[in-house]
Amino acid sequence: MTSTFDSTGGKPGQVRFFLPGPVWVRDAVRQAMAHEAIGHRGKAFADLYARIPPRLAKVFRTEGFVFTTTSAATGLWEAALLNLMPERVLAIASGAFSERWAACARDLGLAVDVLEAPWGVPVDPAEVRRALGKAKYEAVTVVHSETSTGTLNDLEAIARAVREASNAFVLADVVTSVAGSPVECDAWGLDFVLSGSQKAFALPPGLGLAFASERFRERAKERSRAHYLRLSEAEAFAGKHQTPYTPSTPHLFALDVQLDHILAETVEGRWARHDALRARVAAWAAARGHAYVPPEGARSWTVSCLKPRPGLSSEALVANVKERGFTIGGGYGKWKASTFRIGHMGDVDMASLDALLAALDESAAEAAA
């Protein structure tokens, strides 16, 4: 289904920036950030912050607790672990970001076992179940959409496997899935779910967005070793429509505007638009001989990771398309030279994507010449 919603806020075809985050930001959102200064302990802030969680919860698909932090998403990886303080963590690593979350757990001094899955291949829930049988784990970390490889894991099935095989808390990074493809915090039984503003929410970077289940919050009350991102503090202050520490108020003004926009499009409509963008890239890639890295059915709806057709260098392609005014992502980490990534998340519309694909065709012809 192709959404007819004007995602760009009035000018279809204007997006030229296709990194897999940070992403292009609409004028109305950027302008909202220029709001005059307000104090974060006054009524104007409380009025603003009171409006955020009820609408954010709709995007995270929960009746439970959602909150924002002034941090990168990485800060929320740490928050998930420091608030829980699990005795032993099973870290599912299938790409650069999930590997980094495992490293984060090790840096915090936690006992971590890594379940390694090959890059570009979705994690098999049966493997997760097997791994959980080998030791007593209190937490499982999983990245839903691995931005480094464009692979979408079956988070619902993985969470089910964790619940069936253990009592472990499911900690999910939905940084490049939520607001772009289905994430169901309540229905999938997730415990801590985190994202950042600079991905499918289409805000500037700097804001963390998260959900914590009731059982996670209960446990955090007893065990948390976090200070800046202590969950019980966030909860206590949320009751007063405040944040524990000085927030980035400009980001919250922007989020206020953007949540209206997202809910006007509808969460399902936003998913459908991203799915249509993904399908358009897939059809284009197949027609041009560029190989999609993840298999069909396990492709992120927000970032496409492709191997250029034989004889074409991905680095030349990225550089040539840049000269035409379009920014796309190169490969990530060990795949830097062998792949390129198109971020089609946030408020990207089909006309803009089509313009990019045409520019990529010209760039490929130039690189081959």
Ligand X SMILES: Cc1ncc(COP(=O)(O)O)c(C=O)c1O
* 120 is a site residue for ligand X (CB under 6 A): no
CA angle (269, 270, 275) in 5-degree steps: 95
Stretch that binds ligand X, among 33-41, 105-113, 115-123, 169-177 (CB under 6 A): 169-177
d(CA 108, CA 136): 19
Choice between 45 and 211, CB closer to ligand X: 211
C-beta atoms surrounding 119 within 10 Å? 23
Choice between 144 and 307, CB closer to ligand X: 144
For the packed helices 73-84 and 214-223, what is the interaxial angle rounded to 10 degrees? 70
d(CA 296, CA 302): 14
* 207 is a site residue for ligand X (CB under 6 A): no
* 143 is a site residue for ligand X (CB under 6 A): yes
Contacts of 78 (CB under 8 A, 6+ apart): 104, 108, 226, 229
Beta bridge partners, 29, equal: none
* 68 is a site residue for ligand X (CB under 6 A): no
* 92 is a site residue for ligand X (CB under 6 A): no
* 232 is a site residue for ligand X (CB under 6 A): no
d(CA 86, CA 88): 5
* 147 is a site residue for ligand X (CB under 6 A): yes
Q: DSSP class of residue 335?
A: G
* 327 is a site residue for ligand X (CB under 6 A): no
Stretch that binds ligand X, among 31-39, 66-74, 211-219, 255-263 (CB under 6 A): 66-74
Choice between 56 and 73, CB closer to ligand X: 73
Choice between 194 and 357, CB closer to ligand X: 194
* 173 is a site residue for ligand X (CB under 6 A): yes
Q: Are 186 and 158 in contact (CB under 8 A)?
A: no
Which listed residue (125, 150, 196, 346) binds ligand X by CB under 6 A?
196
* Closest distance of CB 333 from ligand X, Å: 11
Stretch that binds ligand X, among 68-76, 124-132, 290-298, 358-366 (CB under 6 A): 68-76
Give the number of residues in contact with ligand X, rule: CB under 6 A: 11
Q: Which residues of the chain form beta strands (DSSP E)?
A: 17-18, 65-69, 88-93, 111-116, 139-143, 145-146, 151-152, 169-173, 192-196, 208-212, 291-292, 303-307, 327-330, 340-343
Choice between 173 and 191, CB closer to ligand X: 173
Choice between 185 and 355, CB closer to ligand X: 185
What residues make contact with ligand X under the rule CB under 6 A? Answer: 21, 72-74, 97, 143, 147, 173, 175-176, 196
